[in-house]
Structure 1
Amino acid sequence: MLHAAKPTPFSAARIQETVREILAAGTLPPIVQAGHPVLRQRAALYDGQLETVELDALIALMRAVMHDAPGVGLAAPQLGISLQLAVLEDQYDVDAETSAVRSRSPLEFFAILNPSYAPLGTATAEFYEGCLSLSGLQAVVSRHESVRLDFTDPHGTARQREFSGWQARIVQHETDHLHGILYIDRAELRSLSNNAEYAARWAHPDIGLARQELGFLPDKPQTS
């Protein structure tokens, strides 16, 4: 059972000050790592704490940090900003087998404010997943196969979109960040691997071999 995160103590003034300091630095900021309290807080809802030009600049900076990492998503708390804002984009080339098994297709760049998701149906999918705030580690996470995402876009318009496959995984991962949830909270911890072991042993389109060898997600017993 997941622990409910406490609301961030960040005031609107502190959020604005933090953003302005990061933008004024003129360099790509470091990505906050697990153990920092900002990753375990429920981020503040965006309600106009930033000027439009500041919000646009922050989104552009977050996209640059995401590309530099590289990753397919980045949430504002990962830069030390406790605000419900995330950017998402998946343009990585993967082989045809992996793409098919993982239902992975390109995701065009977009930014989300104040997101929440709900499952569409009961189907789940289990794959290895990593996080830029847990550098060097990956673990298997069960996620909803399809979700509906409700969010506000940077122009202030309420949106609703549906996602499935790997896109749904990215959406869930980034939205979780804004509620103080890291993927390890949902992970099969027996699957936890560092990147070198993952690359050497478990970097297959599915998790079958890792599941067998590491002893997680065992087969359900047959019932008569």
Structure 2
Amino acid sequence: MFGHNAKIDIGLNRAVEQLMKTAGEDHILPIVHAGVPILRRRAVRYHGQLSANTLSKLIDMMHTTMVEAPGVGLAAPQIGLGFAFAVVEDHLRDDDEDPREIAEFPFHAIINPVYEPVGVETRSFYEGCLSVPGFQAVRQRWLDITARWQDEKGHQHEERLHGWPARIFQHETDHLSGELYIDRAEIRSLSTDENLEDYWAEDPVPTAAAEELGFAI
């Protein structure tokens, strides 16, 4: 739990405050893209290096940036900060029969997140990333996970996640170990956003894409 024992890094706190000033009145932070080294470094565990006020403002700005992008998750390395935390949020779609099993995933920050699979079932779906803009590819993920993280006050949480929320949590947590989703994606499935919409939007389970593009799911 963060608190009186946490040691604020004054220089780092000042640097984060300066970063947030670049967001301007709209509170939109710049997102770094593939090729920037920080995306390939293991993030530092967060243990209270920022003041509570700075952390709160940063989480709010990350939320605003994520929604505006638009995305369903944003990890600190994606805005150039090597801390082990991210923000996540997603909501139900109109299609109740969507095979991706999208579920309500309220906004929250996940600090020092980790996960482990529950069972052996996996699912393969198209996935994108705000740091690899304009493209998506099929990525296999665990269907069910046990997710653990801390909130901004340092309280511990544990939750079993299923389907799309589990995918989001895995994606954002992987960012913190220096991994991008494309590292383990089916590269033959790689598609521009426009081509995905034109060719494969009606096929959420990418069976037709797998057959036409020549990859296994």
Alignment of 1:1-40 (within 5 A): 15-27=12-24, 28-40=28-40
CA RMSD of aligned residues (A): 1.4
Matched residue SS, 1:64: helix
- Distance in structure 2 (CA, Å) of the matches to 1:138 and 1:166: 16
TM-score, normalised to structure 1, is: 0.88
Distance of aligned partners of 1:21 and 1:209 in 2 relative to their CA distance in 1, 3 Å threshold = same
Distance of aligned partners of 1:116 and 1:152 in 2 relative to their CA distance in 1, 3 Å threshold = same
Distance of aligned partners of 1:177 and 1:141 in 2 relative to their CA distance in 1, 3 Å threshold = same
- Distance in structure 1 (CA, Å) of the matches to 2:171 and 2:163: 13
Match of 2:214 in 1: 215
Q: 2:108 matched to 1:125?
A: no
Verify the 8 A CA contact 2:75 2:175 in the aligned structure 1: yes
Verify the 8 A CA contact 2:39 2:77 in the aligned structure 1: yes
Match of 1:189 in 2: 187
Q: 2:45 matched to 1:45?
A: yes
Matched residue SS, 1:42: coil
1:16-75 CA-to-partner distances (Å, cap 9, x unmatched) read 343111222342121100000010000110011100000000000000000000000000
Amino acid of the structure 1 residue aligned with 2:207? G
Amino acid of the structure 2 residue aligned with 1:155? K
TM-score, normalised to structure 2, is: 0.90
Alignment of 1:54-203 (within 5 A): 54-91=54-91, 93-98=93-98, 101-203=99-201
- Distance in structure 2 (CA, Å) of the matches to 1:201 and 1:117: 33
Shift of 1:103: 0.8
Q: Unaligned 5+ residue runs, structure 1?
A: 1-11, 219-224
Q: How many residues align?
A: 205
1:201-220 CA-to-partner distances (Å, cap 9, x unmatched) read 011221111011011016xx
1:102-160 CA-to-partner distances (Å, cap 9, x unmatched) read 11112111111111110000000000000000000000000000001111111111111
- Distance in structure 1 (CA, Å) of the matches to 2:88 and 2:153: 16
